[in-house]
Amino acid sequence: MRRVLQAALLMSSSMAAVAADRPQIPTELTPPAGAKLVLKAHATGSQIYTCKAGNDGAFQWVLKGPDADLHDQKGAVIGHHSVGPTWKHKDGSEVTGKASAHVDSPDSDSIPWLLLSATGHTGEGLLAKVTAVQRINTKGGKPAAASPCDASKDGTETKSPYSADYLFYAEK
């Protein structure tokens, strides 16, 4: 009996450690009621920024968009994420979205976590009926602080490596 209790205690502490490694998704990023998870993909690539003058005349890095491969749980490339933002699956289906909510990443050196609402679709396939996309577990992606944006760099681009998990939801 003692060994059973020790094993149960060890197992529950291991499960708690695993759960602690996976950050909870904030409620602000909850997909619409009735939406079901249809795909989880891991993205690796870059966030592309352009140096531009703002309305106040100050130069700043402005997000142009992502350029990243989407991977399945085994690491195989299953699609691409690009400017739009747009996600294209290898089956030819595509979804474009617009951010509807954001929360700062727990990692202050990383781009925010997002909830995006679908604004358009192309093709038939897995992404054709997606209504919402979550971007979570971001690593990197902010413009490099060591690369200043000033008048001498007006119009130039810089790429910042990043990774993130994307969860795609569709209504039944």
pTM: 0.84
Segment 126-154 mean pLDDT: 93
Burial of 168 (0-12, 13-18, 19+ CB in 10 A): buried
Q: With bands split at pLDDT 50, 70 and 90, how would you rate the model's confidence at 19?
A: very low
Annotated domain spans of the chain: 26-171
Determine contact, residues 77/172, Cβ cutoff 8 Å. no
Determine contact, residues 150/21, Cβ cutoff 8 Å. no
DSSP code of residue 124:
S
Beta bridge partners of 81: 68, 87
Segment 121-132 mean pLDDT: 96
The residue among 136, 160, 145, 153 whose CA lies nearest residue 26 is 136
Least confident of 1-15, 78-92, 99-113: 1-15
